[in-house]
Amino acid sequence: MFLYNRINKEELKKQLMAETFNRKTISFYRYHYIDNPGEIRDQLYREWFPLECFGRIYVAREGINAQMSVPEHNMEAFLKTLTKFDLLKDIPIKYAIEDDGKSFYKLTIKVRPKIVADGLDERTFDVTNVGNHLSALEFHELAGKDDTIIVDMRNFYESEIGHFEGAICPEADTFREEIEMVVEQLQDKKDEKILLYCTGGIRCEKASAYLRHFGFNDVNQLHGGILEYARQIKTENLPSRFVGKNFVFDERLGESVDGQIISHCHQCGKPCDTHTNCANNACHLLFIQCPECAAQYDGCCSDECRDEKHDPDKNTGARKKEYQFGNRKRNRVSLGLKKKLESEQIEQETVSE
Ligand SMILES: [Zn+2]
Ligand SMILES: [Zn+2]
C-alpha cells in the first residue's frame, strides 16, 4: 500500500462525482504533544485510506488539525479508529451544516511544524494560558450585550462574506497581522469583556493566550467556533447573530449560516459571496466573483488573466509575482469598492432562505 495519493486531480474529481453513497464533512483539532508526528501520520493514513476517507489533515508535535469527508457507511468504523490513538480519544467532532459531501476528493495527511500556520513564536508567551471557553449559547447571550467587544480572529477574506453583528473584523491577510492589529486597536480596552471567535475554535486558542499575555483581563472564546454556533442556533431555533456565510477550507469554500449575502462581487460590485480561484493557473488569486462575471472573464480575475489563460505563451510569470500577495491587494480593492457602494447608497440586496 502506498501512503500517498497517486492519482491525478481530474480523475479523482470524476470518481467523487460518480460515487453512489453519501459523505459527511467533519472537522476536529487538538493541541496534544506528540513525540513522533511522522509515525502517527503514516498510521492515520493506513487507518483512514481503506475507509475511503478524504480530507486535509495536519499533524505536528503540538497536535492535530483535521478537515475531513467520511463515507456515511464508514462513519462508525472511522469513529472506532479514533479510540486507537491517545491523541484522538474523545476528541470533539464538528459536523458541517451545509453539506453536499463533496468537500474533499482525496486524503492528504501532512506533517507540519504547527497545526495552524499562525506565525507566532511560542517562546514569547504562555500558550497554555488560554481564555475562558464559552459554549455557543453562552456566546450568543453575551454577544447581544452592549458592554462586550466581539473580535473576529479570521482573515479579512473570511470575515468579508460573514461575521457576527457588530464584530471588529480587521483587514488582515494573516493571523499574525490580525492579532497584532487587535492588540493595538484594543489597547485601552484591557479590562473589558472580549469575545473572540474563529471558524472552528482553533485559532482562538493561540489568540486568547496571546491577548492575555498582553494584559487583557477578560478574554473569552467561542468553543467550537462558528461551525458549532451555526449548529446550535439551528437546534435551539434562535435568530443568528452571525450574518452571512462561514468561509470553510474545503472545496465548498463556505457554508451559509443565515442565508444573507453581505459581500460583493469584486468585479461588478453586486451582492455575491462566492469565492473562486482565478482560472489562470499562473495567478490563482482567491476572490469573490458572480456568475455573470465568471462568464464574462472566463473564471479569471481580470482581462489580462483571461488572455493569459488562452495563450500560455503570454504567460511570463510576471503576473504570479505581482499577485504573490494577491489576496491582500484584491481585498483592498474590494474594500474600496464596498466603500464606494456605500457612499453611493446602493442598497444591498439580501437573500433569505
Ligand atoms: Zn460580478
Ligand atoms: Zn488572475
207-219 pLDDT, tens digit each: 999 999 999 999 9
Q: Residue 188 gets which letter from DSSP?
A: G
**Distance in angstroms between the alpha carbons of the first and the last residue of the chain:** 46
- Kindly state the average pLDDT of the residues 241-260: 89
What is the H or E stretch that residue 233 is in?
helix 225-236
108-162 pLDDT, tens digit each: 999 999 898 888 888 888 888 899 999 999 999 999 999 999 999 999 999 999 9
CA of 304 to the centre of ligand 1 (A): 17
Q: Indicate the pLDDT class of residue 299, thresholds 50, 70 and 90.
A: very high
Q: What amino acid positions are annotated as catalytic residues?
A: 198
- Report which residue type is found at 130: V
CA of 271 to the centre of ligand 1 (A): 8
pLDDT score at 334: 45
CATH code given to domain 18-111 = 3.30.70.100
Nearest ligand by distance to the CA of 263: 1
Neighbours of ion ligand 2 (CB under 5 A): 278, 280, 283, 285, 301, 305
Give me the count of residues in the chain: 353
Q: Indicate the pLDDT class of residue 102, thresholds 50, 70 and 90.
A: confident
Q: Indicate the pLDDT class of residue 316, thresholds 50, 70 and 90.
A: low
pLDDT score at 341: 42
Global pTM reads: 0.80
Looking at the chain, the whole-number percentage of residues with pLDDT higher than 90 is 67
Distance between CA atoms of residues 22 and 51, nearest Å? 13
> CA dihedral in degrees (199, 260, 54, 228; nearest 10)?
40
CA of 69 to the centre of ligand 2 (A): 29
Q: Looking at the domain 127-236, which fold is it?
A: Oxidized Rhodanese; domain 1 (3.40.250)
Distances (CA, A) of 139 to 56, 133, 167, 241, 251: 29, 9, 13, 10, 29
Among candidate residues 257, 261, 260, 248, the one with its CA nearest the CA of residue 338: 261
Distance between CA atoms of residues 182 and 185, nearest Å? 5
Q: Indicate the pLDDT class of residue 317, thresholds 50, 70 and 90.
A: low
Q: Pairing mode, if any, of strands 286-288 and 242-246?
A: unpaired
- Domain spans, the chain: 18-111, 127-236, 261-343
pLDDT score at 284: 84
Contact yes or no for 337/244 (Cβ under 8 A): no
CA of 9 to the centre of ligand 1 (A): 28
> Does position 353 have pLDDT exceeding 90, yes or no?
no
276 has which bridge partners? Answer: 287
Q: Pairing mode, if any, of strands 23-31 and 94-95?
A: antiparallel
Distance between CA atoms of residues 137 and 235, nearest Å? 11
Q: Indicate the pLDDT class of residue 340, thresholds 50, 70 and 90.
A: very low
